[in-house]
Amino acid sequence: MKTITIETRSKTEITDITEEVTETVITSGIKDGICVVFTPHTTAAILISENVDPRLQRDLLGSLARIAPDNVRYAHGGGNAAAHIKSARSGVSVSIPVADGQPMLGQWQGVLFAEFDGPRETRKVHIKVIAG
C-alpha cells in the first residue's frame, strides 16, 4: 500500500491525484485486479470525475456548498458539520478496476481528493492495488 500526503490551502478545494494513483498501479506489478483509493478523514472525500476543465471542480464544490452550506446552524458542535455532510455525500473511497497493469479510467476521468474543512497541513490518501 502506498500513502500520499496532501497539504491543502483553502477551506474547500480539489486536488487531482490521478498521476499518483496511476503510478502506484503501474509500480505494483499487478496486471489485473482492483485499486482502492481511500482517505481516513471524515471531512474530505475521494471522487472520480472529469479532471480536464478546472471549472468543473469549482462547480462540484459550489453544488456541494448548496447541499450543505457553512452558514446554517447544525446540531454538531464542532463547527464543521457542513464538511462532514459533504464528505458523507461524496464518499471516502473509490475502487478502480485494473487491467493490463493500468487503472481502467475513462478518457475524461480522474481521481480527485476533495477537501471540505481546510486548510490542513496533512491529509492522507491510501492507495492499495489488489490482485484479482
Summarize the confidence of residues 17-21 as an average pLDDT: 98
Q: How many residues does the chain have?
A: 132
How many independent structural domains does the chain possess? 1
Pairing of β 44-50 and β 2-6? unpaired
For the domain that residue 91 is a member of, what is the CATH number?
2.60.120.460
Which three-class secondary structure state does DSSP give residue 6? strand
Integer Cα distance of 56 and 109 in angstroms: 12
Pairing of β 2-6 and β 102-103? unpaired
Integer Cα distance of 14 and 93 in angstroms: 15
What would the grid cell of residue 13 be? 478545494
3-state helix, strand, coil in the chain (%, to 5): 25, 35, 40
Q: Residue 64 is part of which domain span? A: 2-131
Closest among 8, 6, 7, 1 to 28, alpha carbons compared = 1
pLDDT in tens, 106-126: 999 999 999 999 999 999 999
pLDDT category of residue 78 using cuts at 50, 70 and 90: confident
Single pTM value for the model: 0.96
